[in-house]
Chains A and B, each alone.
Chain A
Amino acid sequence: SQQGEEDPQALSIQEGENATMNCSYKTSINNLQWYRQNSGRGLVHLILIRSNEREKHSGRLRVTLDTSKKSSSLLITASRAADTASYFCATVVKAAGNKLTFGGGTRVLVKP
């Protein structure tokens, strides 16, 4: 079963706009990670946020984590056509080693 569930499932925006996607999970986590996947290829790690952190930034990416609501959000600012991809959140549960449990992903289309 999937630990994380992304919302929305698909997102279409214009270049330059911001893209926000959310992830909800069910159990207490060690950390939550966001990955990007282009056209069914390998996943690229974007950012890791630990359970004791509330917000992290990396370039145009901003991730928040609310452990009380068991949710996270990924914001991509000033989107570019190259940001077109599927974005996945993945959780690491304390009792389960470092295996990643992925959600179903958000498919983002950035139109030029």
Chain B
Amino acid sequence: DAGVTQSPTHLIKTRGQQVTLRCSPKSGHDTVSWYQQALGQGPQFIFQYYEEEERQRGNFPDRFSGHQYPNYSSELNVNALLLGDSALYLCASSLKARRGGETQYFGPGTRLLVL
């Protein structure tokens, strides 16, 4: 049973660039959530995708956008990178978001460094 996978594992970008992070959910899961975790802090919710639509969004600017494909995999895009975007980006998958409260399974994360 494949767990949540993310790519790449590490990434270095410069200010102003754009980045795309990828996530494949756990087998059988249909919902993908993205979180940003700054060093020494807890993860912060970015947004959640279900049925190829953004269903919920946290307090992040429009520079953060996403997509979900029919196979439930997802991408997180960040435009006009800022130094403060340096963080660990975590993808989590779950089943049937509308029911609420289901356990989320996290991938290993993508560590983004913006110089």
Query: What is A's interface to B at a CB cutoff of 8 Å?
Result: 2, 4, 30-31, 33, 35, 40-45, 48, 50, 88, 90, 92, 94, 96-105
Q: Are A100 and B45 in contact (CB under 8 A)?
A: yes
Query: What is B's interface to A at a CB cutoff of 8 Å?
Result: 4, 31, 33, 35, 39, 41-45, 48, 55-56, 58, 88, 90, 92, 94, 97-109, 111
Name B44's closest neighbour in chain A (CB-CB): A102
The smallest C-beta distance from A102 to any residue of chain B, in angstroms, reads 3
A35 to B90, CA, bound (A): 13
- Determine the chain B residues whose CB is within 8 A of the CB of A35 once the complex forms: 106
Name A89's closest neighbour in chain B (CB-CB): B42
Q: Are B45 and A43 in contact (CB under 8 A)?
A: no
Answer whether A43 and B103 are a contact pair too, CB < 8 Å, given A98-B94, A99-B56.
no
